[in-house]
Amino acid sequence: MRPHRAYSPGLTGLLPLEEGHHLVAVLRAKVGDRFTVFDAQREALAEVVDLGPPVRYRILEERRPEREVGVEVVLYVALLKGDKLAEVVRAATELGVTRVRPLVTRHSVPKEMGEGKRRRLQAIAKEAAKQSGRLFVPEVLPPVPLEAVPQVVQGLVAHVGARALVREVLDLNQPLALAVGPEGGFAEEEVALLQGRGFTPVTLGPRILRAETAALALLALATAGEGR
């Protein structure tokens, strides 16, 4: 069996049915095969002891790798057209985000997101966490109006008219909230609202970025760009 990571909350010795099905039906695992299990705090080398269902495993060696950013990183991203949110959730998970909260904004073309799509995005986050070696699976939350964004300790909002650079205002020791608008950007009054909630407008450079690109550029500057 090729190397595999499976999400197993609590590392209880039992795989969730979906994870177990993939291990047996897709990867053709056999008793004695080894793979990696992980949850939000730790991961371990495991060995299949029963194909189930449910698949049972025993832990051979526990590990505590340091792959998380170290502080909470919440991404507030406007609802986007088509399947662009899926691209954002996948890459944001790889870049260390903790939670993704879609927003309904003035220029958002979609004004709602069904529970079925939210669950699909959550599944994408789980697969991206497995692929990227993360322990934590980010939570994809239901969308809310921009006005529902709470006061934050430290926030950055991507804005075309801003002059501040991310590295000039970023504090790596504080929880971080990031906000990115839709295809038409945030309206000026929306940026002002976010500023009142603790967000600092920052520039992503002189070029006009697509909304999905802007979300990932901001995350990369705040996490991967700082080696976190």
C-alpha span between 223 and 163 (Å, rounded): 20
Q: Check: CB of residue 32 under 8 Å from CB of residue 155.
A: no
pLDDT at residue number 1: 65
pLDDT at residue number 100: 97
Q: Which residues, including other chains, have CB under 8 Å from residue 168's CB and lie 6 or more apart?
A: none
CATH 3.40.1280.10 fits 73-226, yes or no: yes
pLDDT at residue number 211: 92
Do 73-226 and 5-63 have the same topology in CATH? no
Q: Which residues, including other chains, have CB under 8 Å from residue 34's CB and lie 6 or more apart?
A: 1, 45, 46, 47, 48, 60
pLDDT at residue number 226: 56
- Which of 79, 218, 222, 56 is closest to 145 using CA atoms? 79
Angle value at C-alpha 28, between 26 and 34, nearest 5 degrees: 115
Q: Which DSSP letter does residue 217 get?
A: H
φ, ψ dihedrals at 83, nearest 5°: -105, 25
Domain spans, the chain: 5-63, 73-226
**How many CB atoms within 10 Å of residue 99?**
16
- Which of 221, 193, 178 is closest to 75 using CA atoms? 178
CATH superfamily, domain at 5-63: Hypothetical PUA domain-like; domain 1 (2.40.240.20)
Radius of gyration of the chain, Cα coordinates, nearest whole angstrom: 19
**Alpha helices, DSSP H, located in the chain:** 17-21, 84-94, 115-132, 166-169, 188-196, 211-222
pLDDT at residue number 113: 92
Strands 199-202 and 176-180, sheet pairing: unpaired
Q: Looking at this protein, which amino acid is placed at residue 218?
A: L
The pLDDT profile of the chain, 228 residues, written as one tens digit per residue, is 667 888 898 888 999 888 888 888 888 899 999 999 888 778 889 999 999 889 999 999 887 777 777 789 999 999 999 899 999 999 999 999 999 999 999 998 888 899 999 999 999 999 899 888 888 889 999 999 999 999 999 999 999 889 999 989 999 889 999 999 998 889 999 999 999 999 999 999 888 899 999 999 999 999 876 544
**How many C-alpha atoms does 29 have within 13 Å on its Cβ side?**
27
